[in-house]
Amino acid sequence: MASPSSKPLDSKVALVTGASRGIGFAVAHTLARLGAAVGICSRDAQKLEAAAARLRSSVPGGKILALPVDVTRAEQIAVLIDRTSRDLGPIEVVVNNAGVGYFGPTHEASETNWDTVLDTNLKSVFLVSRAVAPGMVERRSGHIINISSLAGKNAFAGGGIYCASKWGLLGLTQCMAEDLRTHNIRVAAICPGTVHTDFGAHVGKDPRKMLQPEDVAHAVEMLVTQQPRSFISEVLLRPTLKP
């Protein structure tokens, strides 16, 4: 792992989706601290600009570009990639973090519930990755990191739609990794357990024992600073103590 004073991502460009809060914000902060110029996006323009202001104040001299984008829309992603590349430079690191949840019996869910979760959690990763991959292939360098979940490996009541999105994301990640590894591009998934954010209610869980957004960001740091000869394809992240 890099020391606090080092800048292993100096002159590199990173893009983080769903970065206005929670895990995405923590990841963006870590990448900026490591020296990367960071593009961030989310759908809420007001929250996104507030996040950008926090990043600029906490990482003096850091280059931050904030663009409100719906990552389920291919035409908006095209603008995001073009603007980020033009303003910051070629994108070296992508963290697909944008996600939503629906929890309840699958037989009671609506088609809209399905479309919203699958489009945000799975389709967006396909769209963003497809948009950045050609440039990475041309440069023979890059990291694509997908924030999945332990729900992509474990079934639970009420999790049908959410689990489907995360199981699908793991399959997509593994196949993309095989497609791109010969081009020196590493594709990996991080699967955290429950993280203390406002994503869910976390009823009955002790937040002091839960994973924090910074724990997921630490795993991202590990992936982007690994040695060139290694390839960590999947990280399962659990709290030390059960919350």
Show which residues are catalytic. 162
For the chain, counts of helices (H) and of strands (E): 7, 7
Task: Determine the Cα–Cα distance for residues 214 and 22; give it in Å rounded to an integer.
Answer: 9
Lookup: tokens for 229: 């000869």
Query: CA 176, 182, 184 angle in degrees (round to 5)?
Result: 90
Lookup: tokens for 27: 């990841």
Q: Is 235 helix (H, G, I), strand (E, B) or coil?
A: strand
Among candidate residues 220, 237, 231, 187, the one with its CA nearest the CA of residue 9: 220
Q: Name, in order, each residue with C-beta under 8 angstroms of 82's C-beta and a sequence gap of 6 or more.
A: none
Q: Dihedrals φ, ψ of 80, to 5°? A: -60, -50
Q: Is 36 helix (H, G, I), strand (E, B) or coil?
A: coil
Quick one: which H or E segment has residue 128? helix 124-139
